[in-house]
A and B are shown apart, each in its own frame.
Chain A
């Protein structure tokens, strides 16, 4: 799970990374998505200013998560004040397969990306969707 200690800030991403934790640590997002193999070593680090500080963050921007929540609420006809967060699972919100594809299509249009159907299987939570979006945006930018 994510951890941060005084003097260094290291945020490790596992399958379900809590956005709240990243916010609580006082760091806002830095969006490289780090994929971790099971032995939990990280594959990329970015050092920020100061020799003793390593900063590796991976959760998508809060704005991205927020936008995904908005699109999800609209698709599932949930009231504006209903609780949808990064941790919300699509299935638990009542999304069926058609909802999920409609949501992905909405995200494609909103963010100008293309999500292959093969990736859809790995999108279980709002956070998963947001992280994938960020990854695709970055990939698009570097091409």
Chain B
């Protein structure tokens, strides 16, 4: 039986348990590479993957090293998440085929000097390698993988209801910048403060991951993430609907690092997700953001901000897809599962 799955919209809560999946018959539906102005964000909900036979097939995609690592993990839920994270990366990347089918098992990975996973290619693979950049993040209940065609990308997710063990302001004083501490301290509602903390954490993590570093190589106290909208409101009492999140280095000049674009989402109703992407180098001025996502209450129906000159125009679009590898995908752009949130 041909088990070639096309990318069709299937209800994600139905699952064909009676099918037996033979590894050789499993195929991945190809996906077009994101353009230079696009990023893709794939996510998977581990609780929706219940089939024991499918999980078994997933194990066969992993390298022996990866399987050993998964075996070392204590706890069934953590093991499953570790397995699914690696499966999501392999199958997602393999789908961006430019020159024939790519077996997800054939992909090789290495870590850069700071521990960021990267694709590794043998010299003879140059014909079939998908020219993608990727970054993954996961919690126990969600796994997300961001993909671009050439720009460095960093992704970080956190559960919205995550509790912080330490005192938030103490933590921020220790690890964040004075500007960020001030912003957090100004929030009187403790729950809102906690959520702002988590958003800030995911943005900072996404940034250092996009740079290919980690917190060790780029301590969080060396850069400030702020909301241009919030700053404007503070200054003159009026905020426009410019959702731009910016990063500044904390040095004498407080220089704006304008080559990084941030998107902050509420994902799947349960998580905050931050995506940081290097901007297209062809930009000459302010960027235009064309969000293919649903809107939270902070941004009232704004689809795009036109720039003065077309030559400066570099739209960046984030497409959000929910997936179960080998089973199907569902586009979440423009739904409640992918809402741009305020910061």
Interface residues in chain A, defined as those with a beta carbon under 8 Å from any beta carbon in chain B: 74-75, 82-83, 89, 92-94, 96-98, 101-102, 105-106, 108, 116-121
Residue interface bits B219-237, CB-to-A below 8 A is 1, else 0: 1110000000000000000
Query: Which residues in B have their C-beta under 8 angstroms from that of A89?
Result: 72
Contact A117 B165 (CB under 8 A): no
For the complex formed, measure the closest distance between the CB of A102 and the CB atoms of chain B, giving whole angstroms. Answer: 5
Asked if residues A105 and B216 are in contact (CB atoms below 8 Å), the reply is no
Task: Identify which of B73, B75, B114, B170 contacts A121 (C-beta below 8 A).
Answer: B114
Listed by A's residue number, 17 A-B pairs whose Cβ atoms lie within 8 Å are A75-B165, A82-B74, A92-B72, A92-B73, A92-B74, A96-B139, A97-B215, A98-B158, A102-B165, A102-B166, A102-B171, A105-B174, A117-B221, A118-B216, A118-B219, A119-B216, A121-B115
CB of B76, distance to nearest CB on chain A (Å)? 12
Contact with A along B70-95 (1 / 0, CB 8 A): 00111100100000000000000000
- Among B155-182, those with CB < 8 Å from A are 158, 162, 164-166, 170-171, 174-175
With both chains docked as a complex, state the minimum distance between the C-beta of A28 and any C-beta of chain B, in angstroms. 28
Contact of A117 among B74, B140, B158, B220 (CB under 8 A): B220
**Residues on B with beta carbons closer than 8 Å to the beta carbon of A116:** 219
Tell me whether A74 and B216 are in contact in the complex, defined as CB-CB below 8 angstroms, given that A94-B140, A98-B158, A105-B174 are known contacts: no
- Cβ–Cβ < 8 Å partners of A121 in chain B: 114-115, 214, 216-217
**Residues 312-324 of chain B, each 1 if its beta carbon lies under 8 Å from chain A, else 0:** 0000000000000
CA distance A121 to B166 in the complex (A): 21
B329 within 8 A of A: no
* Bound Cα distance from A75 to B162, whole angstroms: 12
B201 in the interface (beta carbon within 8 A): yes
- A93-B74 in contact (CB<8A): yes
Within 8 Å CB of B214, what residues of A?
97, 121
User: Which A residues lie within 8 Å of B266 (CB)?
Assistant: none
Nearest-Cβ distance from residue B282 to partner chain A, whole angstroms: 33
Residue of A nearest to B214 (CB): A121
On whether A120 and B165 interact (CB within 8 A), knowing A94-B75, A94-B78, A97-B205, the answer reads no
8 nearest interchain CB pairs? A121-B216, A117-B219, A94-B78, A120-B216, A92-B73, A102-B165, A118-B216, A105-B166
* Residue count of chain B within 8 Å CB distance of chain A: 27
Nearest chain A residue, comparing its CB with the CB of B77: A94
Contact bitstring B241-281, A, C-beta under 8 A = 1, else 0: 00000000000000000000000000000000000000000
- Asked if residues A106 and B165 are in contact (CB atoms below 8 Å), the reply is yes
Whether A106 lies near B115 (C-beta < 8 A) is: no
Residues of B within 8 A of A98 (CB): 158, 162, 201, 205
Q: Which residues of the other chain, B, contact A97 by a CB distance below 8 angstroms?
A: 205, 214-215
Bound together, the chains give a CA A96 to CA B220 distance in angstroms of 16
Tell me, in angstroms, the Cα distance from A89 to B70 when the chains sit together.
13
